[in-house]
């Protein structure tokens, strides 16, 4: 394919050869946000279009806010990898992927510029309008691949997106001293925590034992919803934030 009309009117098209047809549901119902994790945005853009990389995303948003579309929204881009949400594992088939240019944790992890986030918001508003994406289906790569991925990370301003009507968020409960659940804990409270995480969509086994996979999922939850402290420890603030999030979902 040499070109196509962008789904997002303000996007520049640079075609990636790394895509295929969506399997099963033909319409996307989820947005997955990533960071590029490479030294430069132009390098990431080239990599996502390079047949040798076997990865792609529908969009890439540069630091200056410039939006590039590489795969049509109707097609299946290759951005999620091994991942899971609400029991669904072929996330590439049900989602639209957005790569936000940022070198990531291993290269200093700078803050996301305001102009860049402005473009991410505009892009998400457009996608949500075209495909009726539910707010709680705008997720981080770390949400759908906990332990394997940490992007777009704890500096990603989900609150700015939420203020613009994108995504699902509640104000995180304040962090205070008190009893916590952490690796080694077991019993009903752990089972309740795991059940709530699973109910929200996270892939976690409900065992009643706070094991390493529970810690990893708690960390992923914090990275998105309680960004001030990401430590895998289910303190009262983490549990309350999760409870509030679930409660706001059923309203």
Active site residues: 99
CA 50, CA 31: separation in Å to the nearest integer?
23
Q: What's the token pair of residue 52?
A: 């040798």
Among candidates 178, 171, 197, 191, which has minimal Cα distance to 236?
178
Q: Is the dihedral of CA 78, 133, 64, 107 positive or negative?
A: negative
CB of 172 to Zn ion, least distance (A): 23
Tell me how far, at minimum, the Cβ of 37 lies from Zn ion, in Å. 7
Look at the block and give the residue holding tokens 């630091």: 63
Give the C-alpha separation, 57 to 48, whole Å.
7
Least distance (Å) between residue 246 CB and Zn ion? 25
- Nearer to Zn ion by Cβ, of 150 and 197: the residue is 150
Q: For 128-155, give the secondary structure using H, E and C.
A: HHHHCCCHHHEEEHHHHCCCCCCCCCCC
Nearest to Zn ion of 161, 181 (CB atom):
161
Q: Which is nearer to Zn ion, 96 or 170 (CB)?
A: 96
Task: Quote the CA–CA distance of 149 and 121 in Å, as a whole number.
Answer: 22
> Min. distance of Cβ 151 from Zn ion in angstroms?
4
Instruction: Name the residue number minimizing CB distance to Zn ion.
Output: 34
Q: What residues make contact with Zn ion under the rule CB under 5 A?
A: 34, 141, 151
In the complex with Zn ion, which residue's Cβ is closer, 84 or 237? 84
Strand partners, 69: 13, 59
């Amino acid at each position: 394919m040499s070109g196509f009309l962008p789904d997002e009117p303000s996007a520049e098209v640079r075609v990636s050869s790394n895509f295929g047809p969506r399997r099963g549901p033909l319409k996307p119902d989820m947005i997955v946000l990533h960071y590029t994790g490479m030294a430069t945005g132009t390098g990431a853009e080239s990599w996502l279009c390079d047949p040798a990389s076997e990865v792609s995303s529908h969009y890439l948003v540069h630091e200056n806010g410039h939006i590039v579309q590489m795969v049509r929204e109707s097609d299946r881009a290759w951005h999620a990898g091994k991942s899971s949400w609400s029991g669904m594992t072929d996330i590439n088939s049900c989602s639209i992927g957005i790569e936000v240019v940022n070198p990531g944790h291993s290269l200093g992890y700078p803050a996301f510029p305001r102009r860049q986030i402005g473009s991410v918001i505009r892009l998400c508003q457009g996608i949500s309008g075209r495909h009726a994406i539910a707010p709680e289906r705008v997720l981080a790569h770390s949400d759908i691949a906990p332990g394997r991925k940490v992007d777009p990370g704890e500096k990603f301003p989900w609150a700015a997106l939420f203020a613009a009507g994108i995504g699902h968020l509640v104000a995180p409960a304040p962090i205070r001293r008190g009893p916590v659940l952490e690796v080694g804990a077991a019993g009903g409270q752990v089972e309740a925590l795991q059940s709530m995480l699973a109910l929200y969509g996270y892939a976690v086994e409900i065992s009643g034992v706070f094991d390493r996979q529970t810690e990893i999922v708690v960390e992923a939850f914090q990275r998105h919803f309680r960004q001030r402290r990401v430590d895998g420890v289910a303190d009262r603030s983490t549990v309350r934030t999760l409870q509030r999030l679930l409660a706001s979902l059923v309203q």
